[in-house]
Every structure is written in C-alpha cells, then in structure tokens.
C-alpha cells in the first residue's frame, strides 16, 4: 500500500482523465479525494472543497447522503445487476412508475440506458425509426440549436453544437440542420427575453417550414444551454416550438439531462412552458449523482409504432449491458423519495434567492457582462470589454485562474471559459452560498486583473 501522497504520481502514470489536456497537470494540481460528505469533498490531506458545481451537475442531495447510501446498500444485498431483456426487478419497475407520475402527462413509456449521451442516442434512433415504422422513411434529419450540447458519443455530438467539442470530429458526424439559439444574452438592449425568444423563433419556423418533410425531430435543452456557457432563454420559445412541431408533424426531443430534477425551479424545465415533448431524456441528477443511469420517456404513440410481430422487424433492438442496473435504480428511487417527502423545490427557492443576493455586488463590476439565473443555476458572464461584448482571448485561460484560486480557498468552481457559475447540491446551506460567492468574487478580481 502506498501512502496517499503517491496517488498523484500513480494516477498520472496510467489514468487518462475526461475533458482534460493531461499536460496541464504538469502545473495544475490533481486532487486525490478520500471522502465526501454533503456539499464537501475532502482530499487526502484533509483539506475540504465546497462542491459548487455538484460534481459536474450530477449531485442533488450531497455526497454520502445517508438515505441514498442506505438504499444502495440494501439493494446490494439483494441484487446488484441482471440482464434487463426478458427479466425485470422491483427497483426498475418502481422507478418507471414514479418517473411517469412526475413527468408531463402522456409520457408513459421508459427506456433505460446508462449515461446521458446514450439517452440521446436512444431518442435520436427512436425518432428516426418511429417515422420508418410509420411509413415516412424520408424523415431522417434533426434540427438543433446553435450552442447546444447533448453529449460526446457520435450521434449526440452530431446533434450538439459546441464547437470546442465538436469541430475536430465533424468528418465523423451526421449532418444536422442548425438554427440560431434563442439565448437571451444575444438580445438587443431594452428587448425582453420573451420578445427575443419570439423573434429568434422565426428561424426555427423557417427551418421547419422548409425541411419538415425530411425532419424527424427537433432537439433542445429546455431553458438553459448548460455546457454552452449556461446561456438561458424564455419558456415562450418552447411553447412556440411545441406548437410548430405539431403543425409540421415533427417530433420534439427535450434533453433535460442537466436541467431536470428541480434545477431550474420546477421538477422539469418543460413544465415552465407547459409542454410535453415526445421524448424526455434524463440522467445526471436521476440517481442523485451516485451511479450512471439514464432514461428516455416517451409516449404510447411512439411505443405503439414499434409494437408488432417480431418478424416485421419493427422492434427497437437497442441495448446497453448495464441497462436498468438495479443499484442505480435503487439510488434513483431513494432520490425521488426525497423529492416526495421533503419540500425540496420550496427550499430551493429560498436558496436560489440567496444565490442571487450573494453576487448582487458583482453586477456593477466592470468585467461582468451579465448575471443570469434559473433556479439553482446562477451564471456570471465575464468579458474583457463589456460595452463592446469582447471576450478575452481563450488562450489567456482566465477561467482557469478562477478554478485554481477557488481550489486554494477550498471551493470547487469550474468556469466554462470565462463564465463562472454556481450549480450546487440542494443541501447547501445559506452561509455556504455566501462563502462560495466570496471565493468567486476573489477569483473574478484576480482573473480580471
């Protein structure tokens, strides 16, 4: 057994980390964790970090949550995992029932997968296949919004639009129709977010009008484009989109992988537009941040288009080895039980107000171009020149300075470029929000200097 102080060297000898230029670790510290509790992560020296981004947006009720721990341990003693074709188990059945109860009415069918990108692949394939089964084989294309993000596997990457992750792989990707995002950051001064969303919708309307004969579905992240820099837009866009999709006979895929489970103030972001998508993709917070699991909810209409004699070969022959993993389902059921039994959304309203108040002093900062918020997501957009909307050159890596300073001060804040954001677990305390804001302020001061 080596001492924890060797962990970094052992890690760097063999482990290749996600979304990382590994050479950065010649100067940026790699932090070996030994434990987590609530909003805190603890490293091998005992130093603690306030997890301000819910460990990449997955954690809802804290690390080592006693209730979720107990549920996973209990399930572990019964059944860890089993093939999910031809077999089922109580955790998956209960989870499907509960998801159907929570989701917009009419999403009665749950298809499980094991991560967010896989859920997007499922929705994309299902929509394409739905139209084939319905005798409309020309409907093969997808419409997406600029600056959208739907994951890293090739299909998910193709329907996403964050250049940093996508451009290099373009030769491998299917062609999609990209429509300008309703992102409210782009609105003219004086225009309301709703007016801006309505105006931007004309692009979507035109794309649907022109291409609907060959479009299977439109895919969107409802209300917040998270990986695209926490850019936000008005719910009226989703209302117009639902109405137009119905009019043009095109399906709607809502990717709530990041915004689902209370993040934007309602259980699902779609609720704020009072719409029901044809596919609702969920992952991340689904298991409270414990285990990989995802699900695509869809309608009986879609399900029925696949329900046929086997020999017609209309079935959805898609699977992942860990589909419906029992431990992950148990963690998800415990997570949803917390939503049922505690006033989570109500408490989040108070926490969200505290988040807003904690950064109020930054509104007048010369490099703060915007502070925006939807529920438990708050973003501070920094720019070199606010008046002219000039960003800093990406090569200056000013966001990294904030990340490093925050780590030093005991907080995990990981800016997207120079957009600093808070997306904490829902068990954060008001004074911890203030502490996070103090660290962010210090980081912003230092990065803008």
Ligand X SMILES: *Cc1c(COP(=O)(O)O)cnc(C)c1O
Rounded to whole angstroms, the Cα distance separating 389 from 385 reads 6
Q: How far is the CB of 115 from ligand X (least distance, A)?
A: 4
Residue closer to ligand X, measured from CB, 162 or 204: 162
Q: How far is the CB of 253 from ligand X (least distance, A)?
A: 11
Query: Which residues lie below 8 Å from residue 182, measured CB to CB, with a gap of 6+?
Result: 145, 196, 197, 200, 201, 233, 234, 237
Q: How far is the CB of 30 from ligand X (least distance, A)?
A: 21
DSSP string computed for 186-207: GSPTT--HHHHHHHHHHHHHHH
Residue closer to ligand X, measured from CB, 226 or 270: 226
Residue closer to ligand X, measured from CB, 257 or 362: 257
Rounded to whole angstroms, the Cα distance separating 33 from 12 reads 15
Name the residue number minimizing CB distance to ligand X: 116
Q: How far is the CB of 229 from ligand X (least distance, A)?
A: 12
Residue closer to ligand X, measured from CB, 159 or 444: 159
- Of 240, 435, 261, whose CA–CA distance to 348 is shortest? 261
CB 147 within 8 A of CB 183: yes
Tally of CA atoms within 13 A in the half-sphere of 225 that contains its CB: 24
Q: How far is the CB of 221 from ligand X (least distance, A)?
A: 5
- Of 324, 422, 337, 413, whose CA–CA distance to 65 is shortest? 337
Q: 51 - beta bridge partners?
A: 412
Residue closer to ligand X, measured from CB, 133 or 323: 323
Q: How far is the CB of 59 from ligand X (least distance, A)?
A: 13
* Number of other residues whose CB lies within 10 A of the CB of residue 277: 32
CB 140 within 8 A of CB 293: no
Q: How far is the CB of 292 from ligand X (least distance, A)?
A: 7
The token pair that represents 373 in the structure block: 């918020």
Strands 215-220 and 224-225: unpaired
Rounded to whole angstroms, the Cα distance separating 207 from 245 reads 11
Residue closer to ligand X, measured from CB, 65 or 115: 115
Residue closer to ligand X, measured from CB, 133 or 335: 335
Q: How far is the CB of 150 from ligand X (least distance, A)?
A: 5
Residue numbers of the site for ligand X (CB under 6 A)? 115-117, 120, 149-151, 221, 226-227, 255, 257-258, 283-284
Rounded to whole angstroms, the Cα distance separating 128 from 155 reads 12
* Helix 90-102 with 326-341: angle, nearest 10 deg: 40
- Of 431, 427, 406, 337, whose CA–CA distance to 64 is shortest? 427
Residue closer to ligand X, measured from CB, 275 or 423: 423
Q: How far is the CB of 413 from ligand X (least distance, A)?
A: 18
Helix or strand (DSSP H, E) at 102: helix 90-102
Residue closer to ligand X, measured from CB, 283 or 287: 283
């Amino acid at each position: 057994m080596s001492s924890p102080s060797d962990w970094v060297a052992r890690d760097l000898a063999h482990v290749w980390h996600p979304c990382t230029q590994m050479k950065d670790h010649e100067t940026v510290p790699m932090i070996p964790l030994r434990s987590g509790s609530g909003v805190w992560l603890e490293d091998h020296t005992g130093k603690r970090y306030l997890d301000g981004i819910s460990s990449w947006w997955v954690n809802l009720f804290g690390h080592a949550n006693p209730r979720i721990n107990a549920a996973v341990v209990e399930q572990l003693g019964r059944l860890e995992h089993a093939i999910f074709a031809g077999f089922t188990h109580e955790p998956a059945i209960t989870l499907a029932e509960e998801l159907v109860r929570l989701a917009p009415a009419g999403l009665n069918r749950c298809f499980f997968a094991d991560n967010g990108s896989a859920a997007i692949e499922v929705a994309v394939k299902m929509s394409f296949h739905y139209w084939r089964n319905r005798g409309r084989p020309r409907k093969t294309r997808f419409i997406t919004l600029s600056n959208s993000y739907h994951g890293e596997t090739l299909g998910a990457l193709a329907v996403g639009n964050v250049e940093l992750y996508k451009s290099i792989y373009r030769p491998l990707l299917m062609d999609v129709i990209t429509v300008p995002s309703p992102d409210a950051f782009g609105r003219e001064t004086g225009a309301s977010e709703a007016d801006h969303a309505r105006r931007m919708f004309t692009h979507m309307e035109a794309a649907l009008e022109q291409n609907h004969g060959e479009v299977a579905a439109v895919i969107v992240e409802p209300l917040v484009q998270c990986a695209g820099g926490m850019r936000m837009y008005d719910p009226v866009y989703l209302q117009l989109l639902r109405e137009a999709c119905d009019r043009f006979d095109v399906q709607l895929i809502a990717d709530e992988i990041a915004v689902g489970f209370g993040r934007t103030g309602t259980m699902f972001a779609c609720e704020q537009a009072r719409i029901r998508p044809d596919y609702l993709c969920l992952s991340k917070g689904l298991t409270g941040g414990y285990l990989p699991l995802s699900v695509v909810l869809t309608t009986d209409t879609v399900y029925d288009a696949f329900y046929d004699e086997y020999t017609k070969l209309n079935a959805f022959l898609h699977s992942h080895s860990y589909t419906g993993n029992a431990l992950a389902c148990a963690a998800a059921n415990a997570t949803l039980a917390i939503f049922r039994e505690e006033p989570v959304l109500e408490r989040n309203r108070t926490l969200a107000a505290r988040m807003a108040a904690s950064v109020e002093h930054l509104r007048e900062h010369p490099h703060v171009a915007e502070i925006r918020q939807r529920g438990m997501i708050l973003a501070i957009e920094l720019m070199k020149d606010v008046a002219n909307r000039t960003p800093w050159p990406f090569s200056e890596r000013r966001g990294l300075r904030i990340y490093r300073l925050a780590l030093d001060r005991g907080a995990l804040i990981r800016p997207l470029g120079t957009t600093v954001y808070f997306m904490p677990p829902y068990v954060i305390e008001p004074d911890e929000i203030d502490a996070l804001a103090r660290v962010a302020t210090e980081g912003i001061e230092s990065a803008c200097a």
